[in-house]
Amino acid sequence: MTTYGRGLRGLSLAAAATMTVALVLTFFYAPLDANQGFIQKIFYIHVPLAITALCGFVFGGVLGAVYLRTGDRKWDIRSYVAIHMALIFGIGTLLTGTIWAKASWGHWWVWSDPTLTSFLIVMLLFATYQPLRFSIEDPERQSRYASVFAVVAGAFVPLNFIAVRAAQAYVHPRVLTLTGGNLPGSMRLTFLVALAGVALLYVTLWKYEMAAKSTRMQVRALRRALLGEDSVVPLKRSAAPS
């Protein structure tokens, strides 16, 4: 059994430290945007959340593929946690995105930003992951089907962005292009630190949840071995039933 707890303290401290530095930089170092004013600073949390969430989804797809290849349940659980975490970060992205949109452009939702639209579509897709998982009772089949979904949905992410970007003539200047953008130096530094912070946060939370699940499974296995099948209460909704 992999020990997920190893290095967790160091990781948590690193994540906390980086996030703190990012916040400090955001409020005191990064320049005030001429057009949008203070609210523009939400960019420093919004975009890292978005990038991390999308990477999380693709990561979940890769883990799902490994499960399909090896048949080892732990990969499926890793995939589940990755997607589950990415969903949470994704909701954060959508929330910060709408706040930013309202503050900058006066509307809660704007179709003119292709990234926000693509993101919404990806979230709509991944929102079906948990209903799908929990509507399959057989645990082995649940893992298999969830992994198939993760793989297909993970492949969907880049394709979706291509299609939506092609479809939408954007009105507002793009702040972040694929090449890392036309950000002045101080903004870029703040952004990179924020990105590192959010990414570390994601990995830390992923490890925490894996540690919790893994521990629970081990405890249940021990109880089952020592006290018999009946001492273990079946879990209701769980992606890692055991």
Q: Which is nearer to another protein, 155 or 222 (CB)?
A: 155
| Residue 162 sits in the site that holds another protein (CB under 8 A) | yes
Q: Which is nearer to another protein, 86 or 193 (CB)?
A: 86
Q: Minimum CB separation from another protein for residue 164, in Å?
A: 7
What are the φ and ψ backbone dihedral angles of 179, each rounded to 5 degrees?
Answer: -85, 10
With CB under 8 A as the contact rule, the residue among 58, 110, 116, 153 that binds another protein is 153
| Residue 157 sits in the site that holds another protein (CB under 8 A) | no
With CB under 8 A as the contact rule, the residue among 91, 125, 176, 232 that binds another protein is 125
| Residue 68 sits in the site that holds another protein (CB under 8 A) | yes
- Put residue 2 in one of left, alpha, beta given phi > 0 → left and psi -120 to 50 → alpha: beta
Element (H, E) at 182: none
The 8 Å CB, 24+ separation contacts for 209-215 are 209/81, 209/84, 209/85, 210/4, 210/77, 210/78, 210/81, 211/3, 211/4, 211/5, 211/8, 213/77, 213/81, 213/240, 214/1, 214/2, 214/4, 214/74, 214/77
Q: Which is nearer to another protein, 146 or 201 (CB)?
A: 146
Q: Applying CB under 8 A, which residues contact another protein?
A: 68, 121-122, 124-125, 128, 131-132, 135-137, 140-141, 144-145, 147-149, 151-153, 155-156, 159-160, 162-164, 166-167
